[in-house]
Chain A
Amino acid sequence: MLLRAQNVSRSFGALLALSGASLDVTEGEIVGLIGPNGAGKSTFFNCVAGDLTPTGGNILFNDVDVTRATPEAHAKLGIGRTFQVPATFVELSILENVMVGAFLRHPDRNDARAAALEVIEFTGLKAVASAPARTLGTPGRKRLEIARVLATQPKLLLLDEALAGLTPSEVQDAIALVRRIHAKGITIVIVEHIMEVILTLAQRVLVFNQGVTIATGTPREVVDNTAVIEAYLGRRHARNAGAHAP
């Protein structure tokens, strides 16, 4: 088991944003994480990435207890994450952004640069590599967010709505990118609102609502689960599900 999160809880004052979420991820999987806004998905990611200390439960990564480890320790161990709102270093160039990630495994500047350029090529940012990152729009920043974390050579990648706000054709590009990342042997947990993305990418889906897991299964099973349709997807998806029905 690559990741084993057991009963993870997190409260903010009186608000229990996450109450006892569990997730096991085996190496090589793509797991989808869905749920309505405010369900606690980002909070869960923050706990798994060490950005927030859980108020309950524990998290093992490769059998090491990382529940209370710092974010930088998580990165070092191989847990990489993107932020839902891209946290681009706007004062740096795109290449420099990626180099910051690359320095984790390549202390030498030239090595880091070479590694960063490789990732930039891989993620399709080559044409703009030397441009200031502030010139990028949201889609570009989301891509840079992925490039930067890839440069840290993660074993497990947590993607938080990395495809939100993209046009349909950009979404297709991004799906292809996620596939290529997966093909490199990186295990992925992906939070995404667009059902199509989850259906095409994920092998297994977890549904959150109000801080608890309300369903798990294959994307198909989850989509057909009435609890899910009611609690999260509502009428809109009931319609879509009808369209998918044979």
Chain B
Amino acid sequence: MFRFGIIVCAAFLLYPFFLPDDFYGRMAAEVLLAAIGASAWNILGGYAGQISVGHAVFFGIGAYAPLLIFTKFGLPPIVGVPVGILVSTAVTVVIGLPTFRLTGHYFSMATIAVAELIRLVISNWDYVGAATGLMGPAVARTWLDLSFRSPIPYYYIFLAVLACLLLLTWHLQRSRMGYYWRAIRAGERPARSLGVPVVRYKLYALLLSAGFTSVAGSLYSLMVGFIDPESGFGILKSVELIIIAALGGAGSLFGPLVGAMILVPLQTMTNSLYGGGGSGLTYIIYGGIIVLLARYEPGGLLDLWHRMMSRRAHRADVAAAKPHAS
């Protein structure tokens, strides 16, 4: 297991050195970015079991902040990253707390409504560019603008952020926080009877989740250099975060990364196959995958994998126990 981990880490670190061209570098950077966003969603949706369908709000805030800081004040966009986190956190406290009084389907429905409201407001608010959105610096003024032609620097920045996020999640997962989250997901009533302050721990999950989703949004607009209401706050953004996490395995550490490694290349492929109109096909595939997942493998691919592995181990045990059986 340990050796496997080393090999995977090495593969991620060395991958850019074996690239045929920027196309694959860019796709790899997008995979990591998607994994960051989905891992951030995973803290609230996967571990704590609160299925937010409104995380685009945080992604959008994170994506707008750097470009707004740049267009309005001429500061390097990266200054917007902490601003995005701060605003997301504030939104979390203002909107998250009342929403948390709702549970299950009703919580999800409320998150959609809140996100759509914010998207509509942003689309009609001239200060933030209304429907057109915002642009970043056309050419990098200093390296602080983090505007690179090659995808490789983005790749390493994203890798570093993802590593930090996963390390933090791993640490929390095995501490009291993680146990309380999973208890809340399994049942709020029994969790409370065991002394779990449910609202407080849900809020912790939301704060972390919102903060890192905001970072994912910032990184997105730093790389792309452009943002509009649809790609920042659109409901499809929320859906993307969820499906990536759920495909790999919601509530597992590496689920979102696995999901991203499958879905992002798939999306790139369908888009290039069908050109501009391809996004329709992409979402047909998304929809199909989601339905099939929900119906057959709600635990995601990692869960399926673990079950297959333990079944194989079990068969091996049985075979070893009965050497004369055949």
Question: Chain A residues near B185 (CB, 8 Å)?
Answer: 91
Q: Flag if B182 contacts A75 (CB, 8 Å).
A: no
Bound-state CA distance A100–B183 (Å) is: 7
Quick one: CB contact mask for B177-192 with A, threshold 8 Å, 1 for yes?
A: 0011011011101111
**Interface residue from A75, A88, A96, A99 paired with B193 (Cβ < 8 Å):** A75
Question: Chain A residues near B194 (CB, 8 Å)?
Answer: 75, 100-101, 104, 148-149, 151-152
Q: Flag if A107 contacts B192 (CB, 8 Å).
A: no
| B196 located at the interface, meaning its Cβ lies under 8 Å from any Cβ of chain A in the complex | yes
Q: Flag if A109 contacts B192 (CB, 8 Å).
A: no
Bound-state CA distance A72–B183 (Å) is: 13
What is the distance, in angstroms, from B176's C-beta to the closest C-beta of chain A? 5
Question: Chain B residues near A92 (CB, 8 Å)?
Answer: 182-183, 186
What is the distance, in angstroms, from A191's C-beta to the closest C-beta of chain B? 15
- Contacting A at CB under 8 A, from B183-226, are 183, 185-187, 189-198
| A227 located at the interface, meaning its Cβ lies under 8 Å from any Cβ of chain B in the complex | no
**Interface residue from A49, A87, A103 paired with B176 (Cβ < 8 Å):** A103
| A76 located at the interface, meaning its Cβ lies under 8 Å from any Cβ of chain B in the complex | yes
Q: How many A-B residue pairs have CB under 8 A?
A: 74
| A81 located at the interface, meaning its Cβ lies under 8 Å from any Cβ of chain B in the complex | yes
Bound-state CA distance A83–B185 (Å) is: 18
Question: Chain A residues near B191 (CB, 8 Å)?
Answer: 89, 100
Bound-state CA distance A179–B125 (Å) is: 69
| B175 located at the interface, meaning its Cβ lies under 8 Å from any Cβ of chain A in the complex | yes
Quick one: CB contact mask for A55-98 with B, threshold 8 Å, 1 for yes?
A: 00000000000000011101110001101000111111000100
Q: Flag if B190 contacts A89 (CB, 8 Å).
A: yes
What is the distance, in angstroms, from A151's C-beta to the closest C-beta of chain B? 8
What is the distance, in angstroms, from A68's C-beta to the closest C-beta of chain B? 15
Q: Flag if A104 contacts B189 (CB, 8 Å).
A: no
Contacts A89-B190, A91-B186 known; A109 to B197 CB distance under 8 Å?
no
| B105 located at the interface, meaning its Cβ lies under 8 Å from any Cβ of chain A in the complex | no
| B324 located at the interface, meaning its Cβ lies under 8 Å from any Cβ of chain A in the complex | no
Bound-state CA distance A76–B193 (Å) is: 9
**Interface residue from A51, A87, A91, A148 paired with B182 (Cβ < 8 Å):** A91
What is the distance, in angstroms, from B24's C-beta to the closest C-beta of chain A? 38
**Interface residue from B174, B186, B190, B197 paired with A83 (Cβ < 8 Å):** B190
Known contacts A71-B189, A91-B182, A112-B176; 5 further A-B pairs (Cβ under 8 A): A89-B182, A89-B190, A104-B195, A109-B176, A148-B194
B-side residues, CB < 8 A to A, are 174-176, 179-180, 182-183, 185-187, 189-198
